[in-house]
Chain A
């Protein structure tokens, strides 16, 4: 469930644009106004605002934001304002660049989006970067990581609920064999994770636990320092329990000494319109403190305000 709140009656698009323009004009910037507007509009509404703003003032809203805002606040507003497909393309592209490279982000996008959402991200990637997502991922990753990530970003999984229990049994057996032999980068192991439908993978994991006693991820913990294993575990989690995966990302981002603003921004902006409520419930369950309180404690200023707006926080 989404946490984004849009007021029942909202001003017209033209009014929104006018207000935003006002927020930029003069000496300072009226961040509160920006949060009040953009922080409470859904993807379609934001798209319309961007279009209208460009038509009215001859400038891309995002460029204006880039000029006026800075730091974490700018990033959260910028990333939020993009529409979901563009946002995924933007984050994925960042994740392939040297200084901001992140196998985790690539895997996260590939595995937590629906087949069509991933597809739209790939289309947006073509439009924005004039190349394909897979050629960048292939070019900028190597070895086992490429072996796993490339099929993940190229997948177009079947989305039905149908499950073949015989197949689940045989693939659970196959996974168990490979893991017992520590063949973590095995072709077939990767094949199962990268091509099967999420429902089928879930059935396979259940079968695995029934047959062999442990959760698959527990058996993948053989070496806590191995980065590839960590990615593999995260992949499995993203495919069958994304809310649990996101809870952990948030937990690590917030509770660490300092805050991982990158991860925090990413999770909040990409899930606010999807399932941030469920993730927040998970968070409270696991950490005994509501998500918005944890965010408020760990961040400050306009950055904090924007995150809270997206997380559906209502001033008491």
Chain B
């Protein structure tokens, strides 16, 4: 009699424990939906609306108990929001707003503000300066300089020159000051000799100073894009490798060449980095920057290549913007 009672009690105990546990874990389906809606790039507004409108007090409590990445047990016995999580969420909710504001902004104002921000943030953001200076047309870059005057009552070159202290100063100031010729005319002889000059610079330079080499800077910051593309080809002929490979050690030089000669490679790289699971905030911000500032035609093939990742990682209204911009790009190559 007693063992049966014990077993029965044990079973009852285990059963209540289980259901108690279940209550503690929250309804697994909802927890999953919430987690999914709030992780990745952007937020899934639709799912969130449905969870919020359909959940009552009990639901929400069980959600809090089930989402350990957002909530933790406070010492005074209540489930508390994780401050870091709120911060991250802020960023993700903001993504769509940034896309809207940036998209509607005049391209000149946009570039001027992006340049200022990049300068303020410091060396890890200087790549944005390279990107803007090298991927805009001469007139667009000029427009950004004009807008900079209006917005900040200084010239972009004086701010860059005064605030950048490192060896990349010469390169960056020269890049934003360029007003490149845009015609197709290219002198093959000059391109050949300049490819040789670059090869020499690489062979002879103590790698750290390559970014300060007079000839390298002269060629990269004054020649026209068609000319540089020719230099790129000539370089491959005489050295067997691409300039981008040989500039691997100097990030800013590498990105300069990429943006000027093979922009598609650069953009694909930015997309790839932004869509990785371990992408940091800067990488994700780059996505917004690209889709709102580039002519969609530069992204041909990107949507196909990254379709799966976009589906997985990007959410909600932000995803709609991304896919929409890419689709239009595939169609007619112009924003």
Residues on A lying within 8 angstroms of B by beta carbon are: 119, 122-123, 126, 130-135, 138-139, 146, 150-151, 154-160, 162, 187, 191, 194-197
Contact = CB atoms under 8 A, between A and B. Distances in A.
A156 B218 contact: no
Nearest to A122: B179
Contacts of A157: 155, 158
Interface in B159-190: 161-162, 169-170, 173-174, 177-183, 185
A244 B16 CA distance: 97
B149 A158 contact: yes
A175 to B, nearest CB: 14
Nearest to A147: B214
Nearest to B179: A122
Nearest to A200: B158
Nearest to B215: A138
Given A126-B181, A151-B157, A132 B222 contact: yes
Contacts of B153: 158, 160, 162
B234 interface: no
A159 B222 CA distance: 24
Interface in B140-164: 142, 145-146, 149, 153-155, 157-158, 161-162
Contact of B173 (A122, A146, A151): A151
Q: Which 7 A-B pairs have the closest CB atoms?
A: A154-B177, A195-B158, A135-B222, A191-B161, A132-B181, A138-B218, A138-B222
Contact of A154 (B174, B182, B223): B174
B292 interface: no
Contacts of A122: 179
A132 B179 contact: yes
Contacts of A139: 218, 222
23 contacts: A126-B183, A130-B181, A130-B183, A130-B185, A131-B224, A132-B180, A139-B218, A146-B218, A151-B157, A151-B174, A154-B177, A154-B178, A154-B179, A155-B155, A155-B157, A156-B146, A156-B177, A158-B149, A160-B149, A162-B153, A191-B162, A194-B157, A195-B158
B185 A156 contact: no
| Secondary structure dominating the interface of B | helix
Contacts of B221: 134
Contacts of B218: 138-139, 146
Contacts of B224: 131-132, 135
A195 B222 contact: no
| Secondary structure dominating the interface of A | helix
A160 to B, nearest CB: 6
Contacts of A131: 181, 185, 224
A194 B174 CA distance: 12
A169 to B, nearest CB: 14
A308 B162 CA distance: 46
B11 to A, nearest CB: 81
Contacts of A134: 177-179, 221-222
Nearest to A134: B222
Contact of B157 (A123, A133, A195): A195
A74 B236 CA distance: 49
Nearest to B223: A135
Contacts of A133: 179
A196 B222 contact: no
B222 to A, nearest CB: 4
A158 B177 CA distance: 13
B174 to A, nearest CB: 7
Given A134-B222, A158-B149, A196 B180 contact: no
Contacts of B174: 150-151, 154
Contacts of A151: 157, 173-174, 177
Given A134-B222, A195-B155, A195-B158, A126 B182 contact: yes
A105 B149 CA distance: 27
Contacts of B173: 151, 195
Nearest to B159: A195
B61 to A, nearest CB: 57
Nearest to A162: B153
A198 to B, nearest CB: 11
A155 B181 contact: no
A194 B173 CA distance: 11
Contacts of B179: 119, 122-123, 126, 132-134, 154
B178 A156 contact: no
Contacts of A187: 169-170
Contacts of B162: 191, 195
B183 A159 contact: no
A163 to B, nearest CB: 10
From B169, B177, B223, residue with most partner A Cβ within 10 Å: B177
A197 B222 contact: no
Nearest to B145: A156
